[in-house]
Structure 1
Amino acid sequence: MTERYRPNTTVAWVVKSPEGFLFVEEHKRGQVLFNQPAGHIEADETIIEAAKRELYEETSLRSDPAGLVGIYQFPSNDNSVIYVRFCFYVELDAAPQLHPIDPDITACHWLTLEQLDRKLLRSPYVKQCLVDYMQGQRYPLSILTCSLIN
């Protein structure tokens, strides 16, 4: 019998403003890492609810997603876990002052792609999501059907 596939499902955001793209700074295993606002889906929430919650917890920003950049499947750095990441996007008219609520996030930054290239990333998919967005990859939220009720 084949082992059942059980990926960790996560959500992430590409948030664009006139100041750049939003990234969060976190300290993991003695390193300063950069990521999009991102996190895991909890048992009692839809994919979109999880995205909105993670964005708020990591940055204090409340926003609805404008659409989806893509869905990504990839292994952890040590190949012990497989992730499926739903990456959303939103474009802001101004860059608000942000402050992390989640204690694992130490700061929020507005960065350009060039500035991001000088940072250590949580995973290669941080940059991949941004590049896909910058190349115009966008899908309407209507491609998702999110319901927790039969």
Structure 2
Amino acid sequence: MRFIPHVTVASIIEDQGRFLLVEEMADNRAVFNQPAGHLEADESLIQAALRETLEETGWDVELTGVTGIYLYTAPSNGITYQRVCFAGKPLQQRANHPLDEGIIGPRWLTRDELAAQPERWRSELVLRCIDDYLSGECFPLSLIRD
């Protein structure tokens, strides 16, 4: 069997103790995730993270570092994802910006509000990435080489 990991990006956007999350439909239920998605052809990881955040939340953000690189195999489908997770800060929300299909909308939650709802996480990476961000270890964007 041929092994093909899926490269994805995600963004931890924090503002005064609240985190920008995406409420979206997955497997016929509303779940929370970071703004996240797949790397597209001819796109850098940083460009992908900025694009996905805008497409899923309507927010322009500034990326400030790399929180971590994660390897995750989804129990629901057996697909392995390599997630590059960025840290950043919000700049501005674009009024009436169209969001991707399946997106209910952006939500700002504290870590504790999110932790209280594990049944609503898209995967366990949602809280893990926030906890890694809160641990204070963040790598420079120069870690990412195009």
Q: Does TM, scored on the shorter chain, surpass 0.5?
A: yes
Q: Distance in 1 between matches of 2:77 and 2:70?
A: 15
What pairs with 1:106-117 in structure 2 (closer than 5 Å)? 106-117=104-115
1:23 is matched with which residue? 21
What pairs with 1:70-81 in structure 2 (closer than 5 Å)? 70-78=68-76, 80-81=78-79
Q: Which has more radius of gyration?
A: 1
**Contact persistence 2:10–2:84 (CA under 8 A):** yes
Moved over 3 A (4+): 95-100
CA offsets per residue over residues 104-128 of structure 1, 9 Å max, x none? 1101111011110233100001110
1:73 aligned partner, one-letter code: L
TM-score by length of 1: 0.86
Q: Which runs of 5+ in 1 are unaligned?
A: none
2:52 is matched with which residue? 54
Q: Which runs of 5+ in 2 are unaligned?
A: none
CA offsets per residue over residues 7-57 of structure 1, 9 Å max, x none? 000000100012611111011222111000000001121111111110110
TM-score by length of 2: 0.89
RMSD: 2.0
1:133 is matched with which residue? 133
